[in-house]
Amino acid sequence: MAAGRTATSSSISYTEGSQATVGSEKSFRTLIGFQPYMNWKFSDEIETMFAVGYFHWNDATSGNFTSGGVDTSTLGNTAGTVPAIASVNYKVHNPKQWQFFNTWTLPYNLTFSAEYVMANKANYDNSHVAGYPGTGIPTPDASKSAWAAGLTYGAVKKAHDWSVSYYYGDKGIASVINTYTNSSFKADNKGHTFKANYAIADNFNLGWKGIWIAEKAKINANGGSATGNTYANANSAQEMKTKYMEFTAGVSF
């Protein structure tokens, strides 16, 4: 007696850079950039460095969180009778960025640094925020600039050297890609960064960094309920804030 058989199907598929289906999505990311710089020395104590950079990212897969880059585990929580502001992923499509950077070595062991970044124009719309209404809703410009300025006293070069630094920064949601900044100061934030370093020995130093930041753009971009307007009513009193501290130990040879 022959055993019964059930018809089944099988397939073999091959894709190359397909963006058509989620299961086979591929992406090739590239960065093209240049950043020439110049140094001027005015005296033994005063000198400056100025750099201008241009960068073009080929990357449509990265994004930044709105509302100050809040941890997504907090979404949907409430505080008393006031609903929590949910952050959403803001997609950053192939940004083009100009960067201007300047440092000054000054008397009295001081160093001043300033940086400015300007990206191409971007909006709050359904191509950048998933579920954002496509018609009949305002699509304001997304903040595309970032800047920071700060002062450092001292330098860590040999045993018992120390330094302290303070920076104020402001990062627009569409100015940088968080994935590539290698920084805890994420986009859509503004605030303060403090640093301190001390050399225990010639090749061993300890460091501390503290960041106190708050959300920059109070835009309601919460998915399908988005209005494209600033926070209103109960939500207007809320401001996402982040405090971050780290301790480091470094060895150099």
Q: Can you give the pLDDT at residue 26?
A: 52
Alpha-carbon gap, residue 181 to 82, rounded angstroms: 33
Mean pLDDT for all residues in the chain:
81
pLDDT digits (tens, 9 = 90+) for 22-66: 444 556 678 899 999 999 999 999 999 999 999 998 887 888 888
State the residue range of the domain holding 218.
27-251
Q: Can you give the pLDDT at residue 17?
A: 47
When pLDDT is averaged across residues 160-184 and rounded to a whole number, the result is 91
Residue 88: inside a domain: yes
Sign of the CA dihedral 85, 177, 241, 218?
negative
**pLDDT range class, residue 5, cuts 50, 70, 90:** low
Q: Can you give the pLDDT at residue 27?
A: 61
Residue 22: inside a domain: no
Q: Can you give the pLDDT at residue 115?
A: 97
Residue type, 113: S
Residue 6: inside a domain: no
Least confident range from 9-13, 74-78, 238-242: namely 74-78
Q: Can you give the pLDDT at residue 73?
A: 47
**pLDDT range class, residue 229, cuts 50, 70, 90:** confident
Q: Determine the distance from the C-alpha atom of residue 134 to the mean position of all C-alpha atoms in its chain, rounded to a whole number.
A: 26
Residue 232: inside a domain: yes
Highest-confidence segment of 87-101, 161-175, 216-230 = 161-175
Residue 5: inside a domain: no
pTM of the model: 0.79
Q: Two tokens at 164? A: 């302290």
Residue 18: inside a domain: no
The tally of domains found in the chain comes to: 1
Residue 32: inside a domain: yes
pLDDT: which is higher, 167 or 89: 167
Q: Can you give the pLDDT at residue 10?
A: 53
Closest C-alpha among 168, 142, 167, 140 to residue 64: 142
Q: Can you give the pLDDT at residue 163?
A: 96
Residue 222: inside a domain: yes
